[in-house]
Structures are given as C-alpha cells and as structure tokens.
Structure 1
Amino acid sequence: MPQPHIILASSSPYRKELLSRILENFEAISPDIDETPFPDEEPIELVARLAQQKALAIAVSHPEALVIGSDQVCVLNNQILGKPGTMDKAIEQLKACSGQTVTFYTSLCVTNANETAQNTTVVATKVRFRQLSDKEIISYLEKEQPFDCAGSFKCEGLGIVLFEAIESKDPTALIGLPLIALATKLRELGVQLI
C-alpha cells in the first residue's frame, strides 16, 4: 500500500527535526493563520483550535495529503507565556518561572481535506523549575539564546539544568510535537512507520 503524502503544517525547525525521527518523507509548509487568542479562551482550547486551523489551512490546498498541525502554549499561574523575542523579555520570563511549576500544552491534529470531524489531542507537560539566580538566568540565555521558544528555554539543550522535574506522558511534547500520540494516529491511518 503506498504511503500517503504527509505535510507538516509548520515552519518550526524543532517540529521538523522531531517528525524526521519517525518519518523519512514529508513536506513542511508554513500555515498562514491568525494565532491571536479569543477573549476568555482557555489555553487548552487555544492550542487545540490552533492545531486544527494550521492543519486545515494546508489541507484545503493539498486535498490528497495527510496534514499534521501542532501548537504549544506555556502557562504560568493561568497566564500564557509566549516566545520572548528579546533578552529582556526572556530574563523576565525565567525570573517568573524560578521555583514555580509551568504547564506546557502541546496539541496535535492530523487531518486531510475530506475529514469532517477534527480529532485533536492535547498533551500536558509539567515543568518544575528550581530556584534560579540572576547570574544563572543571564548565563543560560547568553549561551542558548532561546528567544524563539515559549517559556525562554530549550529542554533538549542546556535548558534541562534549569529544572527539578518534568512530568509528561510524552517527552517529545515539551519540544513541540508529541511523537507518541502522533505515531499512534499515523498507524491508525495506515501509515507504516517501521
């Protein structure tokens, strides 16, 4: 049985690298969607909606393909922490996270243009930060420069030293794409992974 054409609806280098761990052949296309949260939208609702919108935005113009959409939000004390973009904002985020537990919600939607119901999964990951000194925060940010990462760190790199513990059913969810859930969905859709 021929493998379907698979498209990752993302421009994220982290998601591309993760997907390449389980799939050799896929295309990555950046979806052009508005990611602004709705008023009073809960973080879980936001990430689920954005994964669906990303997947559908690509599926409409590629009806033959199986499209993977994903999104992630970082939540501290019911506030969403976005990508910092600057050193000052990253310092502010990591100071706020110091000694706290932060929850990352990573969503996954696998669809094609013919799907009427959108089956979306959200994986929660809890990250407990240790107490961080200002010196550690600045040193970390200068070395890794995670300004394009929600929460201002990369757990797959030096960021791991900032934590006391990580709790998740899927360790790859924290990096940006829950591969256990994705592999399950792809197998259900007849994609041969091994």
Structure 2
Amino acid sequence: MAISQSTAARYTAQDPDVRLMLRVQQDDAEAFEELMLRYQDRVVSLMTHLVGKRDLAEDLAQDIFMRVYRSRKRYVPGAKFSTWLYTIANNVASNSRRGLARRREVNLVAQDSGEFTGNPLDQAALEASGLMPTRQLDKAELSQVVQMAVAALNDRQRMAVLLNKFEHMSYEEIAEVMELTPAAVKSLLSRARGNLRQVLEPYLEQGTKIDTPRESE
C-alpha cells in the first residue's frame, strides 16, 4: 500500500522511534543500537510467550532485528515504529510455529519449567479476563494456572492479548500488525477473554483447576 508524504511526515513528527529508524536508513549504527536497546527485551518477552522457549525466542528476536536492518533502505513511516516492528515479529513467529508444527513440536507454551513465573503475563491475563483474585493466592500456583489459561488460546488470540495488554496497542494498531480488521481484532479479544475466564474463574473463586483443550483457529 502506498504511503502518502503527509502520513510519513505525521509519523516522523510524532514518533521518536520513527526518527531513529530514518537515521538507521542512513546507516547510522548508533541509532540502530538505540532501537535495539529500547525494544530487544520487549521483543524477546513477546516471542517467548508466543513460542514458549526462551532460547528460541532470543534467536527469533535476533532474526527480527536483522530483518529490520536489512529493510532499512525500503523503510517508509506509514505507522508507529512499534507497529511496523511487531508486524515483522508476527510474521517471524508465524513462520516459526509452522516450522515447529512440521517437526511435530507443537507444544508452544512453557509447561513446568517455571520460565514464566513472576512474569507480567500473569497480570496481563487477569486483566484480559476481567477477573481479579478474591482470595490469597500462591504466586507460583497462580502463574501455573495463568500458563494453562494462555495455552488454551489459539495463536492469534494469544498474539492479540499480548499486543493489547503488554504493548497497549489499540485495535487499529493490532489489526495492522495481524493483517485483520479492527472488528476482527475486537472479536478475537472477546473470545480470548471468554477462554481466559473459563480457566481462571474456577481457580480464582474456589481454587479449582480445570483442564481445557486449546481452542482451534
């Protein structure tokens, strides 16, 4: 899609990260390093929640930033830099999941490794579900139940929740990242909220864990 000069000028004026990326376009190594410092931890965290393996997530994050650098000469600011970056991340995650599926490594969330314990994912999942604890909870146990709840989401629902709750993206921004309409994103988040509630509500209210199959696309 062609990007007008007025749109490019607007995002350049509004987003300091766009201005950094335009410096990267001119082969400014310090600007690229600054963008990596700003986003690397966030990208690794996002990819970890999407593919479930920290070492794989770090490799994918490196691939994402390499794609950013290789694309620098073609870059035109048609959105916030973060929206453009997470569009690349979504494509990389999708390609990785297809590769894992082909190798029958289909378990895409952490199980009992404790990798996500204490992670902001716990709070994000609770906020997305609309539920809050009404009793004292063991943090490790809550984290395990949250992992189960997030595992019940399909890949697109998980991505939408992470972008909405971790990156505070609007429906319109998530739609651009995921190549959907804002209405489709709203529907995805609504279904995700219902699926999270199904798993979390019995535990938060009664301490009862339930097993739930992962929802299909």
Scaled by the length of structure 2, the TM-score of the pair is 0.27
Larger Rg computed on CA atoms: 2
TM-score (norm 1): 0.29
Bigger proportion of residues as strand: 1
Q: Which has the higher contact order (CA 8 A, sep 6+)?
A: 1
Higher helix share: 2
